[in-house]
Each structure stands twice: as C-alpha cells, then as structure tokens.
Amino acid sequence: MKIYVISIEDENSLRLKKFLDQDFFKNGQLSLTKIGIKGGDLSAKEYFEKAVRGRSKPLTPAELGCTLSHLTALKSFLATDDEFALIFEDDAILPKQLTLKSLEEEIKNFNLPKNVLFSLGGIQMKESLKVRGTLRDQLFLDKQVLEVHPHFYNRVNYAVAYVVDRDMAQNLLDYHRQIRKADDWSFLFDFNKNSNILMTHIVDHPVIEAGETNTQLSAIEGERVKSTNLPQSIYGNSLGYNFAKLKYKTYPR
C-alpha cells in the first residue's frame, strides 16, 4: 500500500520532522511520497481558472493548493498496481502501536465495499459530531466503524488520514473536475451513487478553532471559507434528512 504525505513544509521544518518522528514511520522504514502544492505559487491565470471563475466565493490559495496536492497523490496512486493508498496530512497524530503491516492486514480482513473512502480520523472532531450512519458489527483495529449515510456526507470533515481504493481514487479525480475543498464530499453521492464513506477513530488531529493563525497548527484554517455556488447535494436537508436523523446512529464517544 502506497503512503502519501500532504505537506508544503520543506524537509528541515520542525512540523514535518515532528510528524515523521512518530513511531509509525520510524519503526517501519517506510517508503513514502511527500506532495505539497502551494496555492500561492500558482500563476494568477491558473488560480483564477481553478479557484475563482464561476464562483461567488473563491477557494483560498491554501484551500486550492491542499486539494491539488490530494489530487496529485490520487493520480500517483493510480499509476501504480496497488489496490489501496494511504494518505496523511502532516498534522496527523498516529497511535504508537499502529504499524503499516497491522493496517494492511486489517484492511485485508475487513469487508470494505468497493469505491470506498475510509477515513481513519476526523469522526472524533467537533465538526463531525453530527455525522450519522450505520455502525458495522466488525471492529477495525478494535475501533468501531461508521458507514456514513449520504444525508450526512455534508457533515464529514477532515482529510487528515484516509484510505482509498482504485475506484474511489478515480471517482474523486472526476468529482474534482470542478475543484472543491479537499474534504468537501457533500456532493459525492449525488455525483456517483456507488460512493461509500466509512469513518473510524484511529488517527487524531490537533484541535483547530475557526480562524486559527498559528501555521504550526493549521496553514489553511485562517483562510477557510465555504463556497456556496457549486452544485448542492439533495442529501443533508429536507424531510428525508429528518427521518435519517432518527434512524441512523452517530459514532459512539
């Protein structure tokens, strides 16, 4: 399974060094690919075409760079023969006992659907508290797994750590032909009804408040805005959403 790290940090930065000093990377002598596109380094024309044209609220340079970095990782993955890719952002906090081998074995033994995005962290964060779905009977690394209902795709946040199969990688590349924020999957089920999002709490993430200016915590939150003029999902509101709130469960705290 290929590992990709989304980071705009240079090789000697304290932030990147702290991330790579975690036991997951030190113990396994892992081969990984670092990808980091700085939105501020793009030409004015490219920024306008990808982040401004046709939008009432443009993506910020940081948001655009983050999404392009994730898309580049997905393209790189599809150029391999691997079945799955593991993608981290450089603020992911990994448990000491986690190894790539244990993760790969668990994925092999877990009944993941096709065309899947399996989030390993983010479900525990404040912004995702309203995510609902069906709890799987089978545990993953001793953690419960929530299969997210499409009515709650708009509540899913954070691309800090996730696994995708080849179908989902291509699905996301197609989905982002009109580029969204990297963790905006609100329209994904409308776009492709074979899409599946599963979430569990294995990887942690620093607590980030809206408007955070400390770049050691978040290089993007200070610029973060929501675009309102992209196609809007039929899920996440309406009478069906209210019924879904009654039927489906949140992740246990």
- pLDDT > 90 in the chain, percent: 75
Checking if the pLDDT of 213 tops 80, the result is: no
CB atoms within 10 A of CB 105: 12
Sorted by where each begins, the domain ranges of the chain are 2-250
Mean pLDDT confidence for 234-251: 86
Checking if the pLDDT of 211 tops 70, the result is: no
Options 3.30.70, 3.90.550, 1.10.1740, 1.10.3470; CATH for 2-250 is: 3.90.550
Mean pLDDT confidence for 181-195: 97
What does pLDDT average to over the chain? 91
DSSP per position, 118-150: EESSSTTSGGGTT-EEEE-SS-BTTB--EEE-G
